Amino acid sequence: MNTASASLPVITIDGPSASGKGTVAERVATALGFHFLDSGALYRLTALSAMKQGVALDDEAAVAQLAAALPATFRDGAVWLAEENVTDAIRAEAVGEGASKVAALPAVRAALLDRQRAYRQAPGLVADGRDMGTVVFANALAKVFLTASAEARAERRYKQLIEKGNSANLPALVADMQARDARDTARAVAPLKPAADALLLDTTQMDIESAVQAVLSHYQRKQGN
């Protein structure tokens, strides 16, 4: 990273699956006119690419090779893998499960690190993920850790799936959230945890707009420091 980009403001929003961090991060970025990085999409794209090419998700060297050369682009509000619009495909539960598995592989995380840091461009960046504030942008100006109960997060995911016409089982989603949380917090490299200087925000009883305002207020306070 060059010195100029290192001084650009970054807001990191980390948290477990379905905590609302993606929606909040995108709205904060829009409010500030900043760039937006959905780091989870890169892991989902890596998992989807492996699944499409028949690469085993636990084949660390092969998956890392895919991650390093991932033909991924974010344009027109859509996510593309080469010339295929995979915006909906990467949100499938099987792909999310796969993303959690490949994200536990150190070589895959290393392959995606520089790619994520390259999103730090003027006038600033809002990055959401699981290790944005602890690893990828450890010197970020403002850090937030969004969380919510597994039950609340499963209910949100359930509503999303039903609205899209997919079948869903709420108890199974709760179990999936808990399993993903356990895997993400226990992995050896860049485990899911709040940065020491992060604002902890529990969104179990909070709507999106309130969470967005809380993040913007936190950023303004940090700017004044």
Q: Encode 54-76: b = buried (16+ Cβ within 10 Å), e = exposed.
A: ebebeeeebbbbbbeebebebee
pLDDT of residue 3 exceeding 80, the answer is: no
pTM given for the model: 0.85
Question: How confident is residue 75, by pLDDT bands cut at 50, 70 and 90?
Answer: confident
Residue 190 pLDDT = 84
Indicate if the pLDDT at residue 105 is higher than 80: yes
DSSP string, 18-41: TSSHHHHHHHHHHHHT-EEEEHHH
Q: How many CB atoms lie within 10 A of CB 53?
A: 10
State how far the Cα of 223 lies from the Cα of 169, in Å rounded to an integer: 44
Q: For residue 225, what pLDDT band results from cuts at 50, 70 and 90?
A: low
By C-alpha distance, which of 90, 82, 83, 74 is closest to 36? 74
Q: How much is the mean pLDDT over the chain?
A: 92
For the beta carbon of residue 210, count every other beta carbon within 10 angstroms.
Answer: 13
Confidence band, pLDDT 50/70/90 cuts, at residue 46: very high
User: pLDDT tier at 2 (50, 70, 90 boundaries)?
Assistant: low
- Highest mean pLDDT among 3-7, 35-39, 44-48, 89-93 belongs to 44-48
pLDDT exceeds cutoff 90 at 148: yes
CATH of domain 9-219: 3.40.50.300
Q: Alpha-carbon distance 144 to 122, whole Å?
A: 21
At residue 112 the predicted structure's pLDDT band, cuts being 50, 70 and 90, is very high
| Rounded average pLDDT over 82-111 | 92
Q: Are 9 and 16 in contact (CB under 8 A)?
A: no
**Per-residue model confidence as pLDDT tens digits over 156-193:** 989 988 988 888 899 999 998 999 889 889 888 888 89
Q: Provide the residue ranges of all domains of the chain, joining segments of one domain with +.
A: 9-219
